[in-house]
Amino acid sequence: MTVNPVVAVLHAETVPDTALLASVAEHAEIRYTDSDGLATALAGADVLFVYDFLTDALPQAWHAAESLHWVHVAAAGVDPLMFPALRDSDVTVTNSRGVFDQPIAEYVLAQILSFAKGLPESLRLQREHTWRHRESERITGRTALVVGTGPIGRAIARLLTAVGMQVRGSGRRARDQDPDFGTVTATEDLPDALADADFVVVAAPLTEQTRNMFDADLFRAMKPGARFINVGRGDLVRTDDLVDALQSGELAGAALDVVDTEPLPPEHPLWDISNVMITPHNSGDFAGWRNALVDVFVDNFQRWRANGELENVVDKHLGYVPST
């Protein structure tokens, strides 16, 4: 570690609570910057804390990062930063894996229950002052396929299993007797795995291999009446194909926390499909989440300062933290 390190903190409108970074400020010079000043802040900086996790400013400022050793991202997904110069450099990248696992799992369960119990329709009838008896579905015994077997996918699997659902996983390699999924099918076998799933939950990282993976062919492979839940990235899905599958009835519904254009344009057809629930990329954003992200960085900074092993080191060529 550098004796007097410089830490650049990239933020947008929301600036991290400086009190939470006090222990870092005791041992380093902190430079707060927005995207316009990033190149200046990076000159001579040893560490970059990407608090603005939606930024696209780093590639343009990368020429100034000659002293940089480590980039920490305040997010689980690091796809916005995987540009060639960073990927091919010696700079270590870490993420904030673990902060959002359980909140996202709770979101997925809430959406499954919303579909099964018809809550949007109940709210609509209430607003119309209409008393109409209806039956609902049970989720016990229903099958969920979780696409993505990282920590978020595992948290989802554990919670859905706890409420009595039959859960399987889809990941890079097939395996049996997985502690959270039981059976994991390989990505190349995904069409067959989809055929038996009542709920398909997407929690995969965005990489060149997974971009646009859910297309018309995969939607046609799904079980009639299946519901689709995406808490991964919008670019995992060909949205036009998703719209067609919903409008044709191939899919019985979708819950989308992420879409391939964010914010979703007001004129987009997804807004007006009655069996679609859209949330603004906030499935993991519990009260206090921003401070929790700073805490992860502070903990890793103390490890870095002590020449210890950093947590959540990203394999820059895979695009995520490999599972142990």
- Which residues are catalytically annotated? 233, 262, 281
Task: Measure the CA dihedral 154/242/260/94, to 10°.
Answer: 20
| C-beta of residue 174 within 8 angstroms of C-beta of residue 184 | yes
| C-beta of residue 28 within 8 angstroms of C-beta of residue 4 | yes
Question: DSSP for 271-322?
Answer: GG-TTEEE--S-TT--TTHHHHHHHHHHHHHHHHHTT-PPSSB-BTTTTBPP
Going by C-alpha positions, the residue among 266, 213, 209, 254 that lies closest to residue 236 is 213
| C-beta of residue 48 within 8 angstroms of C-beta of residue 300 | no
Place of tokens 């291999």: 209
Going by C-alpha positions, the residue among 2, 10, 14 that lies closest to residue 31 is 10
* Contacts (Cβ under 8 Å, ≥6 apart) of 136: 116, 117, 118
Residue 103 DSSP one-character state: H
Going by C-alpha positions, the residue among 78, 13, 73, 83 that lies closest to residue 48 is 73
Burial 31-63 (b: 16+ CB within 10 A, else e): bbbebeebbebbebbbbbbbbbbebebbeebbe
Residue 237 DSSP one-character state: B
